[in-house]
């Protein structure tokens, strides 16, 4: 403050660095918060009734509906792998989010038409648009901050709240319209939500300028560093490598493969909220509490509400535990255990339904199941994303995040496949298999804690 002349370096102008106008965070975070909130509103709003629409309105049998559901949701996550690459190579992050959002909105509006070709075209557009938008909107959040900015993690937590706020509201509003008014009004509502997100994204574009410029700069610097590394590699002897990676890097890649497998099992169970458990809610659950009746597509919103409620508790818990905070492999093992237990809970109503066909069980079984599942999600989803960014060798971090999305894709396809059994296998057997796989995977994960920590080579 008291110094007379500040040296003017390139970083002298605080390009957003000092901006604390949104709860202590750069203003651009509010723009991205609402863009992603509306995008998730449209995505989860439509996902909440997609399989119901297929079985009730399109007349698909469970197996076919489950398969289409699985292929669609798996493709959404797989497309995200390419969305990151397209932004890096050609479009840049700002435009990728904009164009992605426009394609998503068009997709939902296409679904508002009745014809079957419109149905598939709409799903295809949402896949393309989400692939373009989803990885890049998070990318811009990251670059609102300099790499060493202490507010960064908190920024991502706020952003995660936006995601789940949208995921909570979407089913409540679009799901209600779809099931109580008209399916196609539900789809259109998702499109309107995405449009609202786009409008405020464009209006807020100036707030994103510093982040977009920082991204450009980081990309240029990374390219220059890669050049320098290549030049010096020819002159000075380096650590021995195999296929360009050191032993330490290979070990870390090994740890990531283990996390990938466990994450795929986890998402395979968790994503059944949109498939198997959605049909379970629709067919076997009372959709009323006291005198209040609600559409079954409201159930998936419970997941997101629990994320919002439990996230601060988890953040507090990890800080409170300090040095005792469990390692990432331990959190993964607990995450799988909770997810397995959530399906164990469902065995009780499942046996009940098997014994007295035609009855509908209390909605609190599903709500309880989602509560336990969320304890699992919070041990895996945010933790996994962060550990992938830390474990990956710098030059392939984009591809490794792609691998993380791929776990989602695999899990979603499995979740759709599982839904196909809801009418052909006894419910206790179906839920029992899911519970067994998760608990089995969790036991293996507990056994692997030590070796995986060894592979991680000191990364926490």
User: What does the binding site for ligand GLN look like in residue numbers (CB under 6 A)?
Assistant: 40, 163, 267, 381, 408
Shortest Å distance, C-beta 257 to ligand GLN: 18
Shortest Å distance, C-beta 80 to ligand GLN: 9
User: Which CB, 76 or 455, lies closer to ligand GLN?
Assistant: 76
User: Which CB, 143 or 311, lies closer to ligand GLN?
Assistant: 311
Shortest Å distance, C-beta 292 to ligand GLN: 27
Tokens 């945010």 label which residue?
Answer: 382
Shortest Å distance, C-beta 96 to ligand GLN: 16
User: Which CB, 163 or 333, lies closer to ligand GLN?
Assistant: 163
β-sheet bridge partners, residue 25: 22
Shortest Å distance, C-beta 78 to ligand GLN: 12
Shortest Å distance, C-beta 284 to ligand GLN: 25
Return d(Cα 187, Cα 47) in angstroms, integer: 10
Exposure of 304 in the CB half-sphere (CA atoms within 13 A) = 25
Q: Are 196 and 39 in contact (CB under 8 A)?
A: no
Helices (H), 273-363: 276-284, 299-321, 328-355
Contacts of 310-316 spanning 24+ positions with Cβ under 8 A:
310/374, 310/375, 310/378, 311/157, 311/160, 311/161, 311/164, 311/378, 314/378, 315/157
User: Which CB, 162 or 420, lies closer to ligand GLN?
Assistant: 162
Shortest Å distance, C-beta 307 to ligand GLN: 7
Return d(Cα 129, Cα 99) in angstroms, integer: 7
User: Which CB, 37 or 337, lies closer to ligand GLN?
Assistant: 37
Helices (H), 356-391: 364-391
In the complex, which residue's CB is closest to ligand GLN?
A: 408
User: Which CB, 184 or 331, lies closer to ligand GLN?
Assistant: 331
User: Which CB, 187 or 388, lies closer to ligand GLN?
Assistant: 388
Instruction: Select from 251, 304, 245 the least CA-distant residue to 274.
Output: 304
Return d(Cα 141, Cα 135) in angstroms, integer: 10
Instruction: Select from 434, 432, 402 the least CA-distant residue to 418.
Output: 434
Shortest Å distance, C-beta 383 to ligand GLN: 12
User: Which CB, 29 or 163, lies closer to ligand GLN?
Assistant: 163
The alpha carbon of residue 19 and the mean position of all alpha carbons in its chain are separated, in whole angstroms, by 28
Return d(Cα 388, Cα 438) in angstroms, integer: 22
Return d(Cα 142, Cα 87) in angstroms, integer: 15
Q: Are 312 and 160 in contact (CB under 8 A)?
A: no
Shortest Å distance, C-beta 227 to ligand GLN: 34
Say whether 7 sits in a helix, a strand or coil: coil
User: Which CB, 40 or 252, lies closer to ligand GLN?
Assistant: 40
Cα distances (angstroms) measured from residue 227 to each of 113, 171, 400, 452: 52, 49, 21, 33
Instruction: Select from 81, 140, 153 the least CA-distant residue to 386.
Output: 153
Q: Are 287 and 295 in contact (CB under 8 A)?
A: yes
Shortest Å distance, C-beta 385 to ligand GLN: 8
User: Which CB, 16 or 83, lies closer to ligand GLN?
Assistant: 83
Name 238's Cβ contacts closer than 8 Å, sequence gap at least 6: none
DSSP 394-407: GGGHHHHHHHHHHH
Shortest Å distance, C-beta 244 to ligand GLN: 29
Tokens of 37: 């909130």
User: Which CB, 39 or 282, lies closer to ligand GLN?
Assistant: 39
């Amino acid at each position: 403050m008291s110094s007379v002349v500040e040296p003017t370096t390139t970083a002298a102008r605080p390009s957003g660095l000092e901006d604390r106008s949104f709860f202590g965070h750069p203003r651009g975070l509010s723009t991205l918060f609402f863009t992603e909130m509306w995008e998730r509103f449209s995505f989860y709003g439509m996902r909440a009734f997609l399989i119901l629409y297929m079985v009730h309105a399109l007349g698909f049998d469970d197996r076919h509906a489950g398969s289409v559901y699985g292929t669609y949701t798996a493709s959404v996550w797989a497309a995200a792998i390419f969305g990151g690459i397209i932004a890096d190579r050609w479009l840049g992050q700002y435009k990728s989010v904009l164009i992605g959002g426009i394609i998503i909105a068009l997709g939902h509006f296409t679904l508002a038409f009745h014809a079957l070709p419109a149905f598939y075209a709409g799903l295809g557009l949402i896949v393309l648009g989400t692939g373009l938008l989803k990885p890049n909107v998070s990318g811009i959040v990251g670059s609102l901050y300099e790499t060493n900015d202490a507010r960064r993690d908190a920024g991502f937590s706020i952003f995660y709240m936006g995601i789940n706020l949208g995921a909570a509201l979407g089913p409540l509003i679009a799901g209600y319209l779809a099931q109580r008014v008209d399916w196609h009004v539900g789809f259109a509502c998702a499109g309107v939500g995405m449009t609202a997100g786009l409008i405020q994204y464009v209006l807020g574009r100036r707030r994103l300028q510093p982040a977009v410029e920082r991204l450009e700069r980081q990309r240029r610097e990374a390219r220059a560093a890669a050049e320098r590394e290549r030049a010096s590699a020819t002159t000075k002897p380096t650590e021995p490598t195999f296929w360009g990676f050191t032993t330490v890097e290979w070990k870390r890649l090994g740890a990531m493969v283990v996390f990938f497998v466990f994450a795929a099992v986890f998402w395979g169970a968790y994503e059944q909220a949109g498939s198997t458990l959605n049909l379970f809610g629709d067919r076997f659950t009372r959709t009323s509490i006291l005198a209040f009746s609600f559409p079954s597509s409201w159930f998936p919103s419970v997941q997101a509400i629990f994320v919002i409620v439990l996230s601060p508790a988890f953040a507090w818990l990890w800080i409170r535990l300090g040095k005792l905070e469990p390692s990432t492999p331990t959190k993964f093992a607990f995450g799988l255990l909770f997810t397995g237990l959530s399906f164990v809970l469902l065995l009780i109503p499942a046996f009940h339904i098997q014994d007295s066909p035609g009855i509908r069980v209390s909605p609190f079984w599903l709500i309880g199941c989602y509560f336990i599942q969320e304890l699992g999600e919070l041990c895996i989803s945010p933790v996994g994303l962060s550990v992938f960014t830390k474990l990956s060798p710098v030059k392939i971090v984009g591809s490794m995040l792609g691998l993380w999305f791929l776990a989602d894709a695999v899990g979603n396809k499995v979740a759709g496949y599982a839904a196909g059994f809801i009418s052909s296998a006894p419910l206790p057997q179906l839920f029992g298999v899911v519970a067994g796989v998760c608990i089995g995977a969790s036991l293996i994960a507990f056994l692997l804690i030590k070796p995986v920590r060894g592979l991680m080579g000191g990364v926490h």
